[in-house]
């Protein structure tokens, strides 16, 4: 059984509009999957629903993480179990520094894994790991003391998403257009971050519009997502084809890319 298993997954908005219309997708440890599709096709909705955003309800099918139905878990439980979403539009939390946010998150996850007993990470260990990760991701040190995403540039936000991923060490990472708005160097750093994370314990689902990041990440599978459904699947060559031909061939009659 795959670590993340989506069977005929359907997701609707609060007003009942169905956005994700039956998705089958398996992500196993060691695999990198790319999900590509036109604007508004429902990629972020799918990602949000997987993470447990209250506005995106799973209305049909199922999403299993490590065999467990995620719809019975709150977002916190999913994160504690090892699911991670790098947000397309990360939110600011004014008054809370990157450092203190990350420490709270790590301690929350450690507490859950210790069966509800407080098990805070020793501060020197945390600091060391944070500094190393920041250096590795070429994030300026001063960012750690700034309020989370408050006034961050687009690229800084994306890097801090990857910093969080590196520190929280999830088992399934979903990256929602983390490459958008990144300069070439940052793109390479992010791609390396994903490659380093993925291994015998961990898999990734990378949502993107661009071939660029895939050149670095080298996905194992590419899925083409149109109007709430996966309409084509293949290897990395599929991404090249999309880059050249666009989504035209996959769109329903009369629709525009």
Ligand X SMILES: Nc1ncnc2c1ncn2[C@@H]1O[C@H](COP(=O)(O)OP(=O)(O)OP(=O)(O)O)[C@@H](O)[C@H]1O
Footprint on this chain of other proteins (rule: CB under 8 A)? 51-54, 74-76, 78-80, 84-85, 87, 90-96, 100-101, 104-106, 108-109, 112, 147, 164, 168
Shortest distance in whole angstroms from residue 110 CB to ligand X: 32
Shortest distance in whole angstroms from residue 45 CB to Mg ion: 8
- Residue 110 or 216 having the CB closest to other proteins: 110
Shortest distance in whole angstroms from residue 92 CB to other proteins: 8
Shortest distance in whole angstroms from residue 12 CB to ligand X: 10
Residue 249 binding partner per list Mg ion, ligand X, other proteins, none, with a CB distance cut-off of 5 to 8 Å that depends on partner kind: none
Residue 59 binding partner per list ligand X, other proteins, Mg ion, none, with a CB distance cut-off of 5 to 8 Å that depends on partner kind: none
Q: What token pair was written down for 105?
A: 């998150």
Burial pattern 50-69, b for ≥16 Cβ within 10 A else e, equals bbbeeebebbebebbbeeee
Task: Give the three-state DSSP class for 83.
Answer: strand
45 neighbors 11 (Cβ within 8 angstroms): yes
Task: Give the three-state DSSP class for 27.
Answer: strand
Question: HSE (CB half, 13 Å, CA atoms) of 40?
Answer: 4
Q: State phi, psi for 181 to the nearest 5 degrees.
A: 80, 10
- Residue 188 or 229 having the CB closest to ligand X: 229
Shortest distance in whole angstroms from residue 243 CB to other proteins: 31
22 neighbors 8 (Cβ within 8 angstroms): yes
Residue 19 binding partner per list other proteins, ligand X, Mg ion, none, with a CB distance cut-off of 5 to 8 Å that depends on partner kind: ligand X
- Residue 43 or 223 having the CB closest to Mg ion: 43
- Residue 45 or 164 having the CB closest to ligand X: 45
CA distance 177 to 34: 11
Cα separations in angstroms, 256 against 45, 251, 252: 20, 7, 9
- Residue 39 or 153 having the CB closest to Mg ion: 39
- Residue 144 or 205 having the CB closest to ligand X: 205
Residues that bind Mg ion (CB under 5 A): 43-44, 88
42 neighbors 20 (Cβ within 8 angstroms): yes
CA distance 175 to 193: 11
Say if strands 203-207 and 32-36 run parallel, antiparallel, or are unpaired: parallel
Shortest distance in whole angstroms from residue 89 CB to ligand X: 9
Residue 39 binding partner per list ligand X, Mg ion, other proteins, none, with a CB distance cut-off of 5 to 8 Å that depends on partner kind: ligand X
Residue 80 binding partner per list Mg ion, other proteins, ligand X, none, with a CB distance cut-off of 5 to 8 Å that depends on partner kind: other proteins
């Amino acid at each position: 059984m795959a670590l993340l298993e989506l069977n005929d997954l359907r997701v609707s908005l609060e007003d009942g509009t169905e956005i994700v219309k039956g998705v089958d997708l398996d992500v196993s440890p060691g695999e990198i999957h790319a999900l590509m599709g036109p604007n508004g096709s429902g990629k972020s909705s799918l990602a949000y629903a997987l993470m447990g955003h209250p506005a995106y309800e799973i209305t049909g099918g199922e999403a299993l993480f490590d065999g467990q139905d995620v719809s019975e878990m709150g977002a916190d439980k999913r994160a504690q179990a090892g699911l991670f979403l790098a947000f397309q539009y990360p939110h600011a939390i004014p008054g809370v520094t990157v450092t203190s946010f990350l420490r709270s998150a790590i301690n929350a996850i450690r507490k859950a894994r210790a069966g509800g007993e407080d098990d805070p990470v020793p501060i020197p260990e945390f600091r060391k790991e944070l500094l190393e990760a920041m250096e590795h991701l070429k994030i300026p040190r001063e960012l750690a003391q700034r309020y989370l995403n408050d006034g961050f540039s687009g690229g800084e936000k994306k890097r801090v998403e990857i910093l969080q991923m590196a520190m929280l060490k999830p088992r399934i990472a979903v990256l929602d257009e983390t490459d958008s708005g990144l300069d070439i160097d940052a793109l390479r750093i992010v791609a390396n971050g994903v490659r380093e994370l993925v291994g015998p314990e961990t898999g990734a689902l990378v949502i993107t519009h661009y071939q660029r990041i895939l050149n670095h990440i080298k996905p194992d599978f590419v899925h083409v997502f149109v109007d709430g459904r996966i309409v084509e699947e293949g290897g990395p060559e599929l991404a090249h084809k999309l880059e050249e031909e666009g989504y035209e061939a996959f769109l329903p009659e009369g629709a525009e890319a």
